[in-house]
Amino acid sequence: MRQLIIDTETTGLDPRQDHRVIEFAALELVDRRPTGRTLHLKLDPEREIDLGATEVHGMTWDDLRGRPTFRDAAAEIIEFVRGAEWIIHNAPFDVDFLDVELARIDAPACGTLATRIVDTLAMAREAFPGKRNNLDALCERFGVDHAQRTLHGALLDAQLLSEVYLAMTRGQDSLAMDLPRAASGAADAPGAAPAGPRPAVIVLAPTPEELAAHRAYLDALDTSSKGRCLWLALEREAGEPA
Spans of all domains in the chain: 2-177+201-206
Mean pLDDT along residues 39-44: 98
Give strand pairing partners of 27: 5, 38
Q: How many C-alpha atoms does 44 have within 13 Å on its Cβ side?
A: 9
User: Among candidates 99, 98, 35, which has minimal Cα distance to 235?
Assistant: 35
Q: Which of 42-46, 82-86, 149-153 comes out lowest in average pLDDT?
A: 149-153
Mean pLDDT along residues 38-57: 98
Domain covering 2-177+201-206 in this structure, CATH number: 3.30.420.10
Positions annotated as catalytic residues are 152
Residue pLDDT, tens place only, 59-83: 999 999 999 999 999 999 999 999 9
Distance in angstroms (rounded) separating the CA atoms of residues 101 and 37? 24
Distance in angstroms (rounded) separating the CA atoms of residues 94 and 82? 16
Burial (CB < 10 A; 0-12, 13-18, 19+), residue 17, is: exposed
Output the pTM of the full model.
0.72
Starting at the edge strand that comes first in sequence, how are the strands of the sheet with 85-88 ordered? Answer: 33-42, 21-30, 2-10, 85-88, 116-119, 176-177
Residue pLDDT, tens place only, 110-161: 999 999 999 999 999 999 999 999 999 999 999 999 999 988 999 999 999 9
